[in-house]
Amino acid sequence: MTEQASRSAPLAAALLGAADLLAAVLSGRTLDAALAETALTKTPLTGPLRAAVMDLAYSTLRSFGREDFFLAQLMNKPVADVQIRCLLLITLNRLEARPEHAYAIVDQAVTVASRLAAGNFKGLVNGVLRNFLRRQDELLARAKENPVAHHQHPAWWITRLKKDHPHHWQAILAANNTHPPMTLRVNQRRITSADFSAQLTAAGLTTHAVGDAAWQLDKPVPIEQIPGFHEGLCSVQDAGAQRAALLLDVHPGQRVLDACAAPGGKAAHLLELADLQLLALDADAARAARITENLVRLGLLSDNVRVCTGDARTPTIWWNGQPFDRILADVPCSASGVVRRHPDAKWLRRVSDIEGFAVTQVRILDALWHTLASGGKMLYATCSLFAAENEEQVAAFIGRHADAQRLAIDGAPSVQLLPHADHDGFFYALLQKN
């Protein structure tokens, strides 16, 4: 928990709220969906309590493999009550983060347990947590020997990264367990990068440049504290994601398709770079609405821009037959490159999901290729680190399409950005139609 959150939210309430969120995730919901559901309850999470609950839930999901390992070592058989199990997992995470308050934390967890399941598990919660404190050194040593506990990722994920990134898998896993950076993209239609940087400084925010129009905050802050955000001076977008629009090499007047566009981060960047005839497509209507919201905020919506709900695999429904000069295919993927932003994803995904994404990617790529003009360029983009969604996908595409050639990026056939202090993990390959 951050200092501010821990000072102003009662710990027992935060433990309970976080345990409920974790229980929702373990039942298969995403953390975002579980959080959205809390807004619909009689007691929606707000203010410092919401911040404290999110902090505990994110932190526990980041290290879930470790807390789950501890719990298995501390109990002869798994606890039957899901809420109590989650309370234990959340409290173990908190005990590791704040050892100096260990006994107060255990007391608060026992208080919560006394209010759940008719208080039947109060003694068990007390016993397990006190046992953890007694055996902590031994358990920490054992956790080092267990890959899931040590790397805090599922075993299949670790195996896949080892295969796909034999020299970098450990650094990737370590980076995935860190807090993500917050980066802003300057809307250069409205303000120069230098002037915006001066506004950030005047607002007391310290930053460093991670691209021509990209400023990374030394410490993430709520959006309300970003000068000019609501007036459209900037967007929040990772520096790695900011490469996409630049790589697509757009020029004024071109017909451009952003085929998987929501919530519109890259579509907006494309429009900031040039006056385009842009079609921003997304299969999810609710998410497509966010494209329009973002373009309006940034002052980029015009008669030349169309936002449309549609499936990129079936152009006959939404394409008027006029070929595109540029296509951005920012396809749905495992999101394994941005897992530090969505730590629930690593525990919710299954190996079979990767095959499912790969099949969808093939279908999207093949369908979009027919809509690209001769000489036109298509950028294939994922926020994945898995070769099956990246290099192997592009190699197979080139094999299927004799009229496709790769254009080099930074002198290489493709770019695989690995998660790093300055950016998330992304993959880019630029294809041209002969």
Please report, in range form, the residues annotated as the binding site for S-adenosyl-L-methionine. Answer: 260-266, 282, 311, 330
Instruction: Enter the tokens of residue 57.
Output: 């839930």
Is there binding between residue 318 and ligand SAM (CB under 6 A)? no
Q: Which stretch binds ligand SAM (CB under 6 A): 36-44, 106-114, 261-269, 426-434?
A: 261-269
CB of 197 to ligand SAM, least distance (A): 23
CB of 221 to ligand SAM, least distance (A): 21
Q: Could you say which of 86, 234, 333, 383 is catalytic?
A: 383
Strands 234-236 and 207-211: unpaired
Q: Which residues from 364-383 bind ligand SAM, rule CB under 6 A?
A: 364
Instruction: Enter the tokens of residue 44.
Output: 């929606």
Q: Is 190 exposed, middle or buried (0-12, 13-18, 19+ CB in 10 A)?
A: middle
Q: What is the amino acid identity at position 319?
A: W
Q: Does an H or E element contain 199, and which?
A: helix 193-202
Q: Which residues from 329-348 bind ligand SAM, rule CB under 6 A?
A: 330, 332
CB of 258 to ligand SAM, least distance (A): 6
| Contact between residue 216 and residue 197 where contact means Cβ atoms under 8 Å apart | no
Is there binding between residue 260 and ligand SAM (CB under 6 A)? yes
Which CB atom, from 22 or from 283, has the smaller least distance to ligand SAM?
A: 283
CB of 245 to ligand SAM, least distance (A): 9
- Asked if 383 is an active-site residue, the reply is yes
Q: Which residue is nearest to ligand SAM (CB)?
A: 260
Q: Which stretch binds ligand SAM (CB under 6 A): 60-68, 91-99, 131-139, 309-317?
A: 309-317
Task: State the DSSP code for 423.
Answer: B
The residues that bridge with 355 in the sheet, in sequence order, are none
Which CB atom, from 92 or from 262, has the smaller least distance to ligand SAM?
A: 262
Cα 326 to Cα 278: distance, rounded to the nearest angstrom: 10
Q: Which stretch binds ligand SAM (CB under 6 A): 115-123, 256-264, 342-350, 410-418?
A: 256-264
Is there binding between residue 227 and ligand SAM (CB under 6 A)? no
Can the peptide bond before residue 263 be classed as cis, meaning omega within 30 degrees of 0? yes
| Contact between residue 382 and residue 395 where contact means Cβ atoms under 8 Å apart | no
Q: What is the amino acid identity at position 155?
A: A
CB of 330 to ligand SAM, least distance (A): 4
Is there binding between residue 32 and ligand SAM (CB under 6 A)? no
| Contact between residue 421 and residue 259 where contact means Cβ atoms under 8 Å apart | no
| Contact between residue 325 and residue 376 where contact means Cβ atoms under 8 Å apart | yes
Q: Does an H or E element contain 7, and which?
A: helix 3-8
Is there binding between residue 312 and ligand SAM (CB under 6 A)? yes
Cα 20 to Cα 35: distance, rounded to the nearest angstrom: 10
Which stretches within 299-325 are classed as H helix?
315-318
Query: Which one of 272, 282, 325, 344 is in contact with ligand SAM (CB under 6 A)?
Result: 282
Orientation angle between helical segments 64-74 and 122-145, nearest 10 degrees: 120
Query: Which one of 150, 313, 342, 406 is in contact with ligand SAM (CB under 6 A)?
Result: 313
Which CB atom, from 264 or from 425, has the smaller least distance to ligand SAM?
A: 264
| Number of Cβ atoms within 10 Å of the Cβ of 428 | 22
Is there binding between residue 305 and ligand SAM (CB under 6 A)? no
Cα 291 to Cα 198: distance, rounded to the nearest angstrom: 28
Which CB atom, from 227 or from 264, has the smaller least distance to ligand SAM?
A: 264
Q: Which stretch binds ligand SAM (CB under 6 A): 102-110, 297-305, 310-318, 410-418?
A: 310-318
Which CB atom, from 128 or from 307, has the smaller least distance to ligand SAM?
A: 307
Is there binding between residue 265 and ligand SAM (CB under 6 A)? yes
Instruction: Enter the tokens of residue 200.
Output: 């950030």
Task: State the DSSP code for 389.
Answer: G
CB of 226 to ligand SAM, least distance (A): 18
CB of 170 to ligand SAM, least distance (A): 26
Q: Which residues bind ligand SAM (CB under 6 A)?
A: 259-266, 281-284, 287, 311-313, 330, 332, 364
Q: Which residues are catalytic?
A: 383
